[in-house]
Structure 1
Amino acid sequence: MSNKQHILRLGKEQNGVITSKMVTDLGYSRKALSQLEDEKLIFRVERGIYVMASNYVDHYLIIQQRLPQGIFSHETALYLLGYTESAPEIIHMTFPRGFNTSRAKKVQVQPIIASNELTTGITSIERSNHAAIKVYEIERTLIDLLKSKYKADKELLMSALKQYIRSDACNIAKLNDYARLFKLEAKIQPYLEILL
């Protein structure tokens, strides 16, 4: 089996995404990627990231590959977690302090810089072809939408909260724990009083 065939097999195993790092880690030359691109078997998404022509590649998976430090958050997390049916017009991701936001903006991602607790509440969800992406769990997402520096759509927030409270996943204690952690107890209580 040739290097190019090995790389294509790797791409199939990686849900249609191939990175130059994966190729060099296997000891292959990056020249094989250029040859595969010339043959139109793969397409370059960004420097060092390619997708296979024969695969459907999930947009969110590509973004996660391009911005591995980011966690899908806010309205985007609501959508990915199934708490709203409409795909977000703007994709939101949360990044650590010091992240170069121009990289995110280049791929049409609205970056949010975490002031603290970046890693608290991260979960992964399975997308197409069993690929996983990082997203904040629903309780963290609902509380993040209440932060004053973030202007959330109140109707969307109320709808998501209603759906959450009616769901089997509802855990008011956990929601309140996040509210305490981010000092937003006073903001969540009026919503809970209406909905409970």
Structure 2
Amino acid sequence: MQQKKRYMDYKKHIEQYLENSGGIITASYCRSKKIPTIYLSRLVREGILQRAAEGLYISEAGMYDAYYYFQYRFKKAVFSYETALHLLGATDKIPQDMDVTVYYSYKFNKAPLGVNIHYVNKKIHNLGVVETRTMFNNPVRVYSYERTLCDFIAHEDAMDREVYIKLVRSYAHYAKRDIHTLYEIATSMGLDAKVKTLMELVYE
């Protein structure tokens, strides 16, 4: 009787979590809440959950959270460029492909489809990383607007000109802008002079 009550309590906790996560739950989350992961396997047998990847489970009614699922599989990847801006709510444009950044020595076992992979030196890979939430309320790691702006400036010649100009001008209206952080990141990337000149031209 006690065992059945414990199971029902765990099941209720898991179901409540699934309601707020778009139907996704991980084994690591359960361990953090002292829920034995054997109950996830039990819910799979009951048809309530399906195992999407090692340690990742999705409910039958769950929504497929592409961003969370991708980063769960490739934990070192950081969403960047237009994908970062979309996840930060800084643009209404929904990217056709994902933009992610990894360090040079990082290897994908199999190159994912529909993903633009950008490589940087390991020393700046985590520079400007922030956590935000997907539309399903799942946490993902993205580059801040400041880091994204620096990435665009660093690779200006490779960027779509219209997108580049709009990004630079839109920063003035970004509610969470942080000029101090922008210059810190720019300095770490060797872009301080270029960023300062650009900001003075745009916002004078």
Range class of TM-score, shorter chain: 0.7 to 0.9
Q: Which residue of 1 aligns with 2:177?
A: 170
Q: Which residue of 2 aligns with 1:114?
A: 120
Q: If you compute each CA radius of gyration, which structure gives the higher value, 1 or 2?
A: 2
1:28 aligned onto 2:28: no
1:18 is paired with a residue whose SS is strand
**Change in CA separation of 1:110 and 1:32 when aligned onto 2, cut-off 3 Å:** farther
1:183 is paired with a residue whose SS is coil
The structure 2 residue matched to 1:52, chosen from 59, 64, 75, is 59
TM-score scaled by structure 2? 0.74
Question: CA offset at residue 91 of structure 1?
Answer: 0.7
Contact 2:145 2:177 in 1 (8 A): no
Structure 1 unaligned spans of 5+: none
- Counting only pairs closer than 5 Å after superposition, residues 15-164 of structure 1 correspond to structure 2 as 15=21, 16-19=23-26, 26-28=36-38, 32=42, 35-36=45-46, 39=47, 41-103=48-110, 105-106=111-112, 108-115=114-121, 116-128=123-135, 130-148=137-155, 151-164=158-171
Question: CA offset at residue 4 of structure 1?
Answer: 9.5
Deviation readout 1:115-146 (Å, 9 max, x if unpaired): 02222211111334543211111101110122
1:133 is paired with a residue whose SS is strand
Paired with 1:85 and 1:27, the residues of 2 have a C-alpha distance of 39
**Change in CA separation of 1:170 and 1:31 when aligned onto 2, cut-off 3 Å:** closer
Contact 2:102 2:119 in 1 (8 A): yes
**Change in CA separation of 1:128 and 1:169 when aligned onto 2, cut-off 3 Å:** closer
Question: CA offset at residue 185 of structure 1?
Answer: 3.1
Contact 1:4 1:32 in 2 (8 A): no
Number of residues paired by the alignment? 192
Q: Which residue of 2 aligns with 1:179?
A: 186
Paired with 2:140 and 2:84, the residues of 1 have a C-alpha distance of 11
Contact 2:85 2:145 in 1 (8 A): yes
Q: Amino acid of the residue matched to residue 113 of structure 1? A: Y
Structure 2 unaligned spans of 5+: none
**Change in CA separation of 1:10 and 1:84 when aligned onto 2, cut-off 3 Å:** same
TM-score scaled by structure 1? 0.77
2:155 is paired with a residue whose SS is coil
Which shows bigger deviation, 141-150 or 1-10? 1-10
The structure 2 residue matched to 1:10, chosen from 3, 14, 26, is 14
**Change in CA separation of 1:98 and 1:4 when aligned onto 2, cut-off 3 Å:** farther
